[in-house]
């Protein structure tokens, strides 16, 4: 049965052609060590919508929805924001490597220590197409987070977001 499923999936063609849309997002959970001063546990989802401006190249908008808790603050922080991204797919077939880059800004809500951030990221990953229109995405991203309204400096690191995309 597994061999039949694999044979069927290998014959499918993924839609990364000009004029198609990309909708989905990614999820991550991580522990950050911010400037060695305190630790923060963060869970985030990043919904996105993109458009293929050329074959294999999509640009679009993304939102940031995160919840975090740090050792230096007893309250839970909620972050909300948005940004833009670019993603380029390589190869044909059901497993497509891609590179991605983007910039997001977000603000912390409902805490006494409200902060505004700008986040730059770039990375590479694999889109594993489960059928003609749905991919499971696994990537490694380098991110740099800079505080706009606080003197915390910056934090940076590599994260491994996992997500799904629907191509239509």
Looking at residue 112, what is its pLDDT? 65
Confidence band for 156, pLDDT divided at 50, 70 and 90 = confident
Q: Whole-model pTM? A: 0.81
How many Cβ atoms are within 10 Å of 161's Cβ, its own excluded?
A: 23
Confidence band for 114, pLDDT divided at 50, 70 and 90 = confident
Structure-model confidence comparison of residues 32 and 17, the more confident one: 17
Closest to 137 measured CA to CA, from 91, 87, 66: 87
Q: What is the DSSP secondary structure assignment for residue 17, as one 8-state letter?
A: S
Task: For residue range 42-65, list pLDDT tens digits in order.
Answer: 899 999 999 999 999 999 999 999
Q: Tell me how far apart the alpha carbons of residues 168 and 164 are, in angstroms, rounded to a whole number.
A: 13
pLDDT above 90 for 99: yes
Beta bridge partners of 106: 81, 117
Q: Tell me how far apart the alpha carbons of residues 140 and 35 are, in angstroms, rounded to a whole number.
A: 22
Confidence band for 33, pLDDT divided at 50, 70 and 90 = low
In order of their start, the domains of the chain are: 12-167 (2.40.160.20)
Task: For residue range 76-98, list pLDDT tens digits in order.
Answer: 888 899 999 999 999 989 999 99
- Compute the average pLDDT of residues 121-126: 97
Decide if 20 contacts 50 (C-beta within 8 A).
no
Q: Tell me how far apart the alpha carbons of residues 118 and 120 are, in angstroms, rounded to a whole number.
A: 7
Q: Tell me how far apart the alpha carbons of residues 69 and 132 are, in angstroms, rounded to a whole number.
A: 39
């Amino acid at each position: 049965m597994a061999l039949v499923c694999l044979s069927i999936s290998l014959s499918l063609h993924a839609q990364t052609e000009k004029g198609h849309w990309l909708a989905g997002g990614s999820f991550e959970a991580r522990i950050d060590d911010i400037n060695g001063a305190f630790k923060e546990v963060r869970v985030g989802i990043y919904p996105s919508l993109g458009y293929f401006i050329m074959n294999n190249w999509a640009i679009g908008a993304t939102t940031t929805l995160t919840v975090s808790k740090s050792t230096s603050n007893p309250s839970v922080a909620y972050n909300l924001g948005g940004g833009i991204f670019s993603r380029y797919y390589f190869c044909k077939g059901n497993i497509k490597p891609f590179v991605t880059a983007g910039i997001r800004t977000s603000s912390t809500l409902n805490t006494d220590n409200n902060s505004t951030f700008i986040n730059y990221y770039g990375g590479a990953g694999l889109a594993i197409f489960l059928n003609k229109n749905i991919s499971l995405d696994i990537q490694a991203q380098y991110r740099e987070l800079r505080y706009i309204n606080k003197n915390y400096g910056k934090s940076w690191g590599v994260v491994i977001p996992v997500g799904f995309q629907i191509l239509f």
